[in-house]
């Protein structure tokens, strides 16, 4: 359908002034549009990762405020400082990936980078699913302790370090997804549109946070009322935040299935170019054979 944009129609009866003003779309421009459109399914299926990521800076921090944050004596860890495990997991995962995983993967795949960018993004999506499962299980544990040993201060006698696995998993997922997305968009964007590659990546991040806000509002509206407090409440001990985490895990699994389907049928730009060049060479050979005949 898009190829029709490059078709030059008969314009013998057209006014010369209008003919000179007319913009002719080249085949190269049509191919660039095709490249961008082919990237959109991958773009759309990475948004949910950042929705899961958003929970680590909101609800997970809120969970930390209700837990035992004592480290040494009376010193308490600030709840928001738990996000340091994002950085910690990246510092741990990236060197292991570059020094251990890539060389091993290179032996099996024959690729210099070990695995493809889409496979790298896929690993990040799987880690985000595991993070949501860990978040739900930790919240169930936190609630069971809170209900078993109610505290006048509202502090649950459960170490805040129970939250570390979910922070670590999301951080590890970020190491794969973040770098994978940047690499994918930089490589696959047309040469004339390289400046939009970073914008495409950042748009998934922002839309992920927007979707998180919308999802929280929808869940609160649907689950609250009729005498019930709903899943999400100001007092986490009276809510069912674990159900929200299970919902995110289910949405992430569904999204990952769609991502796998899209990634399976995606053709990298370098493969398209090599295929196009091969087809052109075959046409030249056919023409030469016809001329010799």
Q: What is the pLDDT of residues 225-275, one digit of tens each?
A: 776 778 998 888 888 999 999 999 999 999 999 999 999 988 887 766 554
Mean pLDDT computed over 66-75 = 82
Helix axes 164-188, 47-56, angle to 10 degrees: 150
The residue assigned the tokens 């929705």 is 51
Task: Output the CA–CA distances (angstroms, integers) from residue 231 to 134, 163, 222, 266, in the order listed.
Answer: 18, 19, 9, 39
Q: Which of 205, 136, 206, 121 has its CA nearest to residue 166? A: 136
Token pair listed for 25: 């779309």
Q: Which of 198, 34, 171, 183 has its CA nearest to residue 111? A: 183
Which pLDDT belongs to residue 283? 47
Spatial separation of the C-alpha atoms in residues 172 and 174, rounded to whole Å: 5
Q: Out of 60-69, 170-179, 186-195, 265-274, which region has the weakest mean confidence (pLDDT)?
A: 265-274
HSE (side-chain half, CA atoms, 13 Å) at 108: 7
Q: Is the pLDDT of residue 102 over 80?
A: yes
Q: What is the pTM of this model?
A: 0.83
Domain ranges, ordered by start, for the chain:
47-261
Q: Is the pLDDT of residue 20 over 50?
A: no
Pick left, alpha or beta for residue 73 (phi over 0 → left; psi -120 to 50 → alpha; otherwise beta). left
Please, which pLDDT band fits residue 123 given cuts at 50, 70 and 90?
A: very high
Contact between 160 and 69 under an 8 Å Cβ cutoff? The reply is yes
Contact between 232 and 241 under an 8 Å Cβ cutoff? The reply is yes
**SS3 at position 75:** strand
Please, which pLDDT band fits residue 176 given cuts at 50, 70 and 90?
A: very high
Highest mean pLDDT among 56-70, 98-112, 120-134: 120-134
Phi, psi of 176 (to 5 degrees): -85, -50
Which of the pair, 149 or 174, is modelled with greater confidence?
174
Which of the pair, 203 or 70, is modelled with greater confidence?
203
Which pLDDT belongs to residue 42? 93
Token pair listed for 41: 């399914």
Q: Is the pLDDT of residue 278 over 50?
A: no
Mean pLDDT computed over 25-37 = 67
Please, which pLDDT band fits residue 22 given cuts at 50, 70 and 90?
A: very low
Mean pLDDT computed over 15-43 = 66
Spatial separation of the C-alpha atoms in residues 60 and 10, rounded to whole Å: 64
**SS3 at position 261:** helix
The residue assigned the tokens 């493969």 is 271
Q: Are strands 67-68 and 156-159 parallel, antiparallel or unpaired?
A: parallel
Phi, psi of 131 (to 5 degrees): -65, -40
- CATH code: domain 47-261 is 1.20.1250.20
What number of residues does the chain have?
293
Q: In this prediction, what percent of the chain has a pLDDT beyond 90?
A: 41
Token pair listed for 113: 């980078």
* CB contact set of 269 (below 8 Å; sequence gap of 6+): 35, 187, 188
Contact between 70 and 81 under an 8 Å Cβ cutoff? The reply is no
């Amino acid at each position: 359908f898009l190829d029709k944009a490059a078709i030059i129609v008969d314009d013998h009866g057209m006014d010369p002034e209008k003919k000179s003003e007319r913009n002719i779309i080249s085949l190269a421009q049509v191919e660039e549009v095709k490249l961008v459109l082919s990237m959109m399914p991958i773009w759309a299926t990475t948004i949910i990762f950042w929705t899961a990521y958003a929970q680590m800076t909101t609800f997970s921090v809120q969970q930390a405020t209700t837990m035992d944050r004592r480290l040494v004596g009376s010193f308490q860890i600030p709840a928001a400082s738990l996000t340091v495990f994002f950085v910690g997991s990246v510092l741990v995962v990236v060197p292991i990936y570059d020094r251990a995983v890539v060389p091993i993967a290179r032996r099996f795949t024959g690729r210099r980078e070990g695995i493809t960018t889409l496979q790298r993004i896929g690993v990040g999506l799987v880690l985000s699913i595991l993070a949501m499962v860990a978040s739900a299980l930790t919240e169930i544990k936190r609630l069971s302790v809170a209900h078993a040993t109610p505290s006048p201060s509202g502090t649950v006698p459960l170490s805040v370090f129970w939250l570390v696995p979910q922070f670590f998993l999301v951080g590890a997922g970020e190491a794969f997804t973040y770098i994978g997305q940047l690499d994918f968009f930089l490589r696959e964007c047309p040469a004339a549109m390289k400046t939009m590659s970073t914008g495409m990546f950042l748009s998934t991040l922002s839309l992920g946070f927007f979707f998180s806000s919308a999802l929280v509002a929808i869940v609160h509206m649907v689950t609250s009322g009729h005498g019930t407090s709903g899943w999400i409440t100001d007092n986490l001990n009276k809510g069912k935040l674990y159900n929200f985490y299970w919902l995110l895990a289910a949405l992430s699994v569904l999204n990952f299935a769609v991502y796998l389907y899209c990634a399976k049928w995606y053709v990298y730009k370098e493969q398209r170019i090599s295929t196009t060049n091969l087809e052109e060479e075959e046409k030249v050979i056919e023409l030469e054979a016809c001329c010799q005949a």
